[in-house]
């Protein structure tokens, strides 16, 4: 495992966090947009922790973390990062049994009056950017005054997972990992 120097950002405030000894990680919840939060989970083990954590994180795990979190004044230090990924979903839809959609005889008259309309590809693209600009507005209401000696510290100074979670629907919207914040 190599070391990479990256630009870090920090914020001080009351942020919910927990330690998950079952999955071997520390977790903090940060406001994202509206009723959506970003969880950052930093595994204890550098060698196998991230891969193991990635396999086991689910909506159920996020709900358990929410129940176990304590909202304490803390300093959160994380790297600035950008993650971008593009997927061709055709293979995955075939595996789910959705095959007719791509065939010559597909009936798409419910969405178009053109009987010649065909689907030849379905792409999904997602990206997440976390920097001061993207997090400043969300964090401003959480900042308070607490003596530094009583603040806890959450430091993401090694590879970590992040999850975007929608609270009203209790849905995991996005799961990603950051192994080198300098590479999108």
Kindly report, residue by residue over 24-71, the tens digit of the pLDDT.
999 999 988 889 999 999 998 776 788 889 999 998 999 999 999 999
Residues 19 and 72 in one domain: yes
Q: Tell me how far apart the alpha carbons of residues 158 and 151 are, in angstroms, rounded to a whole number.
A: 21
What pLDDT band is residue 1 in, cutting at 50, 70 and 90? low
2 assigned to some structural domain: no
Residues 110 and 155 in one domain: no
Cα R_g (the chain), whole angstroms: 20
What pLDDT band is residue 150 in, cutting at 50, 70 and 90? low
150 assigned to some structural domain: yes
Residues 136 and 69 in one domain: yes
147 assigned to some structural domain: yes
Residues 55 and 105 in one domain: no
Q: Tell me how far apart the alpha carbons of residues 6 and 81 are, in angstroms, rounded to a whole number.
A: 9
Total domains in the chain come to 2
* 73: pLDDT strictly greater than 80: yes
* 144: pLDDT strictly greater than 50: no
- Which residue from 63, 80, 81 is spatially nearest to 18, judged by alpha carbons? 63
Which pLDDT value is given to residue 47?
67
Which pLDDT value is given to residue 134?
55
Residues 135 and 122 in one domain: no
1 assigned to some structural domain: no
Residues 42 and 121 in one domain: no
* 151: pLDDT strictly greater than 80: no
Which pLDDT value is given to residue 133?
67
Q: Tell me how far apart the alpha carbons of residues 144 and 155 are, in angstroms, rounded to a whole number.
A: 19
51 assigned to some structural domain: yes
Kindly report, residue by residue over 86-132, the tens digit of the pLDDT.
888 888 888 999 888 888 888 888 888 888 887 888 888 878 888 87
* CATH number of the domain enclosing 72: 2.30.39.10
Residues 140 and 74 in one domain: yes
Residues 30 and 51 in one domain: yes
Residues 67 and 122 in one domain: no
Residues 72 and 27 in one domain: yes
Single pTM value for the model? 0.76
Which structural domain range is residue 110 located in?
85-126
41 assigned to some structural domain: yes
What pLDDT band is residue 162 in, cutting at 50, 70 and 90? very high
Residues 73 and 12 in one domain: yes
Residue with the larger pLDDT of the pair 51 and 145: 51
Mean pLDDT of 156-169: 92
Beta strand spans in the chain (E): 8-20, 25-33, 36-43, 70-79, 81-88, 123-130, 152-155, 160-166, 171-178
Tokens in use for 75?
A: 């300093």
3 assigned to some structural domain: no
* 8: pLDDT strictly greater than 70: yes
Residues 68 and 94 in one domain: no
Query: What is the chain's percent helix, strand, coil content, to nearest 5?
Result: 20, 40, 35
98 assigned to some structural domain: yes
């Amino acid at each position: 495992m190599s070391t990479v120097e990256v630009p870090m950002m920090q914020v001080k405030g009351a942020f919910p966090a927990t330690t998950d000894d079952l999955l071997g990680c520390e977790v903090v919840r940060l406001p994202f947009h509206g009723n959506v939060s970003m969880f950052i989970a930093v595994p204890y083990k550098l060698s196998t922790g991230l891969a193991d954590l990635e396999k086991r994180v689910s909506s159920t795990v996020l709900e358990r973390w929410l129940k176990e979190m304590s909202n304490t004044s803390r300093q959160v230090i994380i790297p600035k990062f950008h993650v971008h990924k593009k997927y061709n979903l055709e293979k995955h839809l075939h595996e789910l049994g959705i095959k007719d959609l791509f065939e010559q005889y597909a009936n798409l008259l419910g969405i178009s009056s053109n009987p010649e309309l065909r689907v030849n590809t379905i792409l999904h693209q997602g990206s997440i950017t976390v920097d001061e600009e993207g997090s400043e507005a969300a964090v401003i209401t959480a900042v308070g005054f607490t003596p530094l000696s009583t603040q806890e510290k959450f430091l993401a100074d090694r590879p970590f997972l992040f999850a975007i979670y929608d609270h009203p629907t209790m849905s995991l919207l996005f799961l990603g990992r950051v192994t080198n914040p300098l590479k999108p």
